[in-house]
Amino acid sequence: MTRRRVALVGAASLALALLYSGAGRAQIKAPGAHPHYTVAVDPHFVVQYADREGSDKLGLGFGARAYIPFVHNGPVPQINNDIGMSFGADMTFFGGDEVCRRRGVTFYASDCSAMNVWLPATGEWNFFLTPIVSVFLDLGLAFQYEKWSFQGLCGSTPCKQSESDFDVEFASWVGARFRIFGDRAGLVVRLGWPYAAAGATILF
């Protein structure tokens, strides 16, 4: 999935959240009219678009994010918003022939796999649209550790190769929280680059 497609999907999801919020009681113009919390914890499933450019292979995994607001009524005091820091850890797994082809493997490989560990650190800005729906923007960095391995035949001899790499990616997400289980728990969707996530959200 290209960055352009990611941006389009993110914009469409944000538009749906805005449309959904229109059916409820508007809250965006009521500064501070949202639950006051110390941290929001988001355990989630992850879909990573590709571990290298030029591949359509998806990676699947899991992880969690924590958001800590440090301004509960701002940075725009006239609307219902808050801003803070978000950080977490995510793990994704790839498998199949695409991993071997992408790595330029020169021997016959019967078992190809890759694992990615992401450590995102971003600034997050939340806008509370209704008592149920809030949307947010995440911008920052994601530190990536990747390990891949190939197992197969080098001629007629079994062989295995394993390598690893470390990288830093610019990270950006748009997302929405739906507090459908009271005002402190619900669902969260996060779409952007370098991966998408969906799961639960709990406010403490």
Domains, the chain, ranges and CATH?
Answer: 3-203 (2.40.160.20)
Q: In the predicted model, is pLDDT for residue 35 greater than 50?
A: yes
Cβ neighbours for 184, distance < 8 A, ≥ 6 positions apart: 35, 37, 202, 203, 204
Q: What is the pTM of this model?
A: 0.83
pLDDT above 60 for 9: no
- Predicted confidence at residue 54, as pLDDT, reads 47
pLDDT of residue 42: 98
Nearest one of 122, 116, 117, 128 to 176, comparing CA atoms = 128
Per-residue pLDDT tens over the stretch 117-130 = 999 999 999 999 99
**pLDDT tens figures, 144-164:** 999 988 888 777 788 888 889
Of the candidates 20, 42, 81, the residue with the CA atom closest to the CA atom of residue 184: 42
